[in-house]
Amino acid sequence: MKKKNAYLLGCIFAVISLIFSALTMVVDVTHYGATDTDIGFSKINIGFHELTGVNIIWYDITDWLGIASIGVGLMFALVGLCQLIKRKSFAEVDKSIYGLGGVYVILGILYVGFEKIALNLRPIIMEGETAAEASFPSSHTLLICTIIATAIIQFNRMVDNKLLQKLSVILGSLFIIISIFGRAYSGVHWLTDIIASLLISTSLVFIFVGFSSDSKGKHSL
């Protein structure tokens, strides 16, 4: 994919994310008494929540998957550190590693920002809490999908073995699918929280592809 096309798609999904976020504030908003919150797209969200119910085991599973994805990110940070030590110059560290670092920084900013600006609250009050917490978007879904998707891309750039490349795509895709299903099925998020996370994650992945590719779309290492 050419650099400009990747950036364009990244921007398009970013705009869609903003529009979707705004719509959740005004479309079909209903007060949900269980957690004393106003929720947009209420028919879809409340209907989906009542369909799945609450499955805390999947909440715990996806929590561990989130920790595992952070571990994947730390491994690439270690790769960058090793390159810096070996090559003795920040300029010689792979451009794509810097791209990953930029994505991780943006994830951190988004995580803190959405905790401070709660567009809506969870459909349930978690054990040990006295009130419902911020729910939009699903930070775990956003974290896992973005880190694992960019990790697959980066790994396949660094490894020439076709079997390992295919294996990384299969395992990474399963990791993402299980995480999305688990977080949605756990019942601790609204369906729109999951959708918003996927839109934002897709934007970040395309931007990463654009940043770490040359003008012809070839991967830059």
DSSP notation for 95-113: HHHHHHHHHHHHHHHHHHH
pLDDT tens-digit readout, 167-186? 999 999 999 999 999 999 99
What confidence score (pLDDT) does residue 146 get? 96
Distance CA 60, CA 220 (A): 37
- Which residues are 134's β-sheet partners? 121
Per-residue pLDDT band for 3 (boundaries 50, 70, 90) equals confident
Is pLDDT of 119 > 50?
Answer: yes
What confidence score (pLDDT) does residue 221 get? 41
Lowest-pLDDT range, 50-64, 127-141, 204-218?
A: 204-218
What confidence score (pLDDT) does residue 10 get? 95
Q: What is the mean pLDDT of the chain?
A: 89
Angle at 191 between CA 189 and CA 195, to 5 degrees: 110
Question: What percentage of residues in the chain have a pLDDT greater than 70?
Answer: 96
HSE (side-chain half, CA atoms, 13 Å) at 132: 22
pLDDT tens-digit readout, 85-98? 998 888 888 888 99
Q: What's the pTM? A: 0.89
pLDDT tens-digit readout, 48-88? 999 999 999 999 999 999 999 999 999 999 999 998 899 88
Distance CA 128, CA 206 (A): 38
Cα of first residue to Cα of last residue in the chain, in angstroms, is 16
What confidence score (pLDDT) does residue 157 get? 87
Is pLDDT of 34 > 80?
Answer: no
DSSP class per residue in 115-176 = HHS-SSB-SSPPTT-SSPPB-SS-HHHHHHHHHHHHHHHHHHHH---HHHHHHHHHHHHHHH
What confidence score (pLDDT) does residue 219 get? 45
